Structure 1
Amino acid sequence: MAKKLKTYQTSLGFYDQAIAAPSMKAALAAWGASSNLFHQGVARETDDPDVVAATMAKPGVVLRRPVGSDGPFTESAELPTELGEGEAKPKRKSKSKAESKPTSKKRPARTARNASREIDDAAARKAAAAFEKEERRREAARAKEEAARAKERARRDKAVAAAEAALDKATREHEAKAGAIEAERAALEARAEAEQERWDKQRHKLDQALRRARE
């Protein structure tokens, strides 16, 4: 049986992000987080009915809105229009203060359990199935990317192996030629030494003959 989905929210970079997922671990995986944002206090489960409705309509899909805004969560969100001006967050803070004061005209904040109660069992099962479908799509995309990386690694390894083989072959050919040249050089040096020795002996005899002829 598919797990019941909950809505989780965080802020990463320029965006607030929300997702309907069966667990915090699944939400972190969908956000691509490398650390536990929930333990760090930058992610939480939300019971905001608008956020819950938006994420339950697209289970498993990461929805975004400009950070610090109160706009709706969508798949394609524009960048914040007032970066660095320090206006959006203070406004949001003052609004939250006003909302925190209990008045007879305002409804009390609904808990995650109350928000979830509004979704009937059939809708919950449908949302969970949609989440699993989105998870399978993400897994297939990751598998495709990994296959592409593996193919590229294999191509690169093959090219490296071919280059190394060519280098090894050229090195062996060079060493063989250099060895042959060295052998020829050694043979020439031996012949030169033998010739020099023969000539020294012959010249010595001829010098002696020349001196005797002059006497």
Structure 2
Amino acid sequence: MEPTDLSANMPSCPPILAAADQGKPPASRKAQKAKKSSSRPVDKAAERKAALAYEREQRRGELERAKEEAAWQKDRERRQQAVDKAQAALDKAEREQAKRAAAIQAEIEAREKRSQTEQARWDKEKGRLEAALRRARD
């Protein structure tokens, strides 16, 4: 039996091994197919169609973002109006309460003054009556 050259019966070295031998990163099969397809003539109509589709998608995305932004802004304004309304109601209630508290305080002060006036009148009356009682006993 004579030694046969097995490399003649074997397919050539796989691309991964070939790339490893050359010190380059291995190319994937997709990349190899892409290279093959790039050698075909460029279809300008398909290229334009793809560019238009891309631009349409970009515009659609921008419109969608604009709609979302408008909805967010509207919601924010609605919440702010609710906050403003609640704050106005609180401010009004605080003013009314302060007015009522001031009226009550004024009433307390007026009653205190009347009480002091009454106490002074009673002290004077009591003194007059006690003096009359002392005179009557003498």
TM-score if structure 1 supplies the norm length?
0.48
Rounded to whole Å, the distance in 2 between the matches of 1:148 and 1:110 is 47
Q: Does 1:211 align with 2:127?
A: no
- Deviation (angstroms), 1:99: 5.1
Return 5+ residue gaps in structure 2 as ranges.
1-13, 20-28
Cα distance per residue 1:155-214 (max 9 Å; x no partner): 111111111111111111111111111111111110101110111111112112111211
Partner of 1:153: 76
1:32-51 to 2 correspondences below 5 Å: none
Partner of 1:63: none
Which ranges of 4 or more aligned residues in structure 1 deviate by more than 3 Å?
Answer: 109-119
In structure 2, the CA distance between the partners of 1:204 and 1:111, relative to structure 1 (3 Å rule), is farther
Partner of 1:132: 55
- Deviation (angstroms), 1:131: 0.8
> Aligned residues: percent identity?
53
SS of the counterpart of 1:185?
helix
Task: Write the letter of the residue equivalent to 2:85.
Answer: A
1:73-152 to 2 correspondences below 5 Å: 100-102=16-18, 109-110=31-32, 116=38, 118=40, 119-152=42-75
- Deviation (angstroms), 1:116: 4.9
Partner of 1:202: 125
1:173-184 to 2 correspondences below 5 Å: 173-184=96-107
Cα distance per residue 1:40-95 (max 9 Å; x no partner): xxxxxxxxxxxxxxxxxxxxxxxxxxxxxxxxxxxxxxxxxxxxxxxxxxxxxxxx
RMSD: 2.6
Partner of 2:85: 162
Aligned length: 115
Which has the higher relative contact order, 1 or 2, with Cα contacts under 8 A spaced 6 or more apart?
Answer: 1
TM-score if structure 2 supplies the norm length?
0.72
SS of the counterpart of 1:102?
helix
Return 5+ residue gaps in structure 1 as ranges.
1-97
Query: Is the strand fraction higher in 1 or 2?
Result: 1
Rounded to whole Å, the distance in 1 between the matches of 2:133 and 2:98 is 51
- Deviation (angstroms), 1:111: 9.0
Rounded to whole Å, the distance in 2 between the matches of 1:125 and 1:189 is 94
